């Protein structure tokens, strides 16, 4: 069953088609990767799916429900969560508080109980803190439990975004270049984290340039070029597709 369906989706920026007539679907439980050269429209596609941008035309369906035009926080409530290529960490907060914000939707968000610090709020906050510490351990950030986000290295912040996204307990997790800027060892570690996440039943959509990672962990791959679908299929099929080879290495003769 498809969890996410994108139908004939287009986005124009002043006459430039960043995404043009794109149709694809993501099955529940899969790791679905999106690849393509720089400027192919991968991040734009993420922004369209997660409500950061509004499509010029076309539709996005999440769990068979029309969601294009909804706000990011509404989509988060439906079970969609994401990370960013350029970090969107809350640098003014502690690392664990970043993750706790991720759990926002599962807490009592009413103003008065918070203002009066009702016992129910502090109790849920304590549970939330323990749960989020567990998530930080899960992504390999155990030693940063007490750290300020601003004092953490880049690689750790990449994982912190994943932990924050997981704290929302999403059905669909979109990861925008989780390995960008990481060295080979760190990339392999992120690789493991993504596999672990997928094994818990979360559907993952992954944008990544690290081909070793993409080919190794994906169930399905969508290749984009100039905002259009270039190829689609299993890693083996996409790898063998002449159009993909041409887009990446340049066409021959």
Partner 1 sequence: MTFNTARTGGLAILAIVIAVAPLGFSNSYFYDVGVNAMFNAILCVGLNLLIGYAGQISLGHAGFFALGAYGSAILTTRYGMPALGALVLSAAGVGLLAFVVGRPILRLKGHYLAMATLGIGIIIHIVLKTEAGITGGPDGLSVDNFKMLGFTVKGDAMWYWVSGLILVFAVWLALNIIDSPVGRALRAVHGSEVGAEVVGVDTASSKVLVFVVSAVFASVVGSLFAHKNGFITPDIGGFFHSVELVTMVVLGGMASTFGALIGAVILTLLPQVLAAVEQYEAMILGAIMMGTMIFMPKGLLPSLIAAVKRRGEA
Interface residues with partner 1 (CB under 8 A) are 50-52, 71-73, 75-77, 81-82, 84, 88-93, 97-98, 100-102, 104-105, 107-111, 113-117, 121, 125, 164-165, 167-168
Closer residue to partner 1 (CB): 62 or 230: 62
Closer residue to partner 1 (CB): 205 or 231: 205
Q: How far is the CB of 116 from partner 1 (least distance, A)?
A: 7
Q: How far is the CB of 169 from partner 1 (least distance, A)?
A: 10
Closer residue to partner 1 (CB): 94 or 188: 94
Residue that the structure tokens 């969508």 belong to: 222
Q: How far is the CB of 136 from partner 1 (least distance, A)?
A: 15
Burial of 1 (0-12, 13-18, 19+ CB in 10 A): exposed
Closer residue to partner 1 (CB): 50 or 220: 50
Closer residue to partner 1 (CB): 49 or 231: 49
Q: How far is the CB of 107 from partner 1 (least distance, A)?
A: 4
Q: How far is the CB of 62 from partner 1 (least distance, A)?
A: 14
Closer residue to partner 1 (CB): 28 or 87: 87
Q: How far is the CB of 73 from partner 1 (least distance, A)?
A: 5
3-state secondary structure the chain: CEEEEEEEEEEEECCEEEEEEEEEEEECCCEEEEECCCCCCHHHHHHHHCCCCCCCEEEEEECCEECCCCCHHHHHHHCEEECCCCCCCCCCCEHHHHHHHHCHHHCCCCHHHHHCCCHHHHHHHHHHHHHHHHHHHHCCCHHHCCCEHHHCCHHHHHHHHHHHHHHCCCCEEEEECCCCCCCHHHHHHHHHHHHHHHHCCCEEEEECCCHHHHHHHCCEEEEEECCEEEEEECHHHHHHCHHHHHHHHCCCC
Closer residue to partner 1 (CB): 132 or 230: 132
Q: How far is the CB of 80 from partner 1 (least distance, A)?
A: 8
- The residues pairing with 35 across neighbouring beta strands, listed in sequence order, are 223
């Amino acid at each position: 069953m498809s969890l996410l369906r994108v139908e004939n989706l287009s986005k124009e920026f002043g006459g430039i088609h960043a995404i043009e007539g794109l149709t694809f679907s993501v099955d529940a439980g899969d790791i679905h990767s999106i690849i393509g050269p720089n400027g192919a429209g991968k991040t734009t596609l993420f922004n369209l799916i997660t409500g950061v941008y509004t499509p010029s035309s076309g539709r996005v369906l999440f769990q068979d429900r029309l969601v294009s035009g909804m706000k990011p926080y509404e989509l988060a409530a439906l079970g969609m969560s994401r990370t960013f290529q350029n970090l969107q960490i809350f640098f003014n907060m502690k690392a664990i508080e970043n993750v706790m914000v991720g759990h926002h939707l599962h807490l009592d968000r009413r103003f008065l109980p918070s203002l009066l610090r009702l016992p129910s709020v502090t109790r849920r906050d304590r549970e939330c803190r323990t749960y989020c510490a567990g998530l930080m351990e899960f992504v390999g950030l155990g030693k940063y439990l007490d750290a300020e986000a601003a004092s953490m290295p880049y690689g750790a912040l990449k994982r912190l975004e994943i932990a924050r996204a997981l704290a929302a307990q999403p059905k669909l997790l979109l990861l925008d270049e989780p390995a960008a800027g990481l060295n080979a060892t760190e990339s392999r570690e992120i690789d493991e984290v993504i596999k672990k996440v997928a094994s818990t039943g979360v559907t993952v959509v992954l944008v990544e340039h690290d081909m070793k990672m993409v080919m190794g962990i994906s169930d399905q791959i969508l290749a984009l070029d100039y905002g259009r679908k270039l190829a689609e299929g299993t890693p083996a099929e996409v790898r063998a597709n002449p159009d993909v080879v041409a887009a990446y290495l340049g066409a021959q003769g």
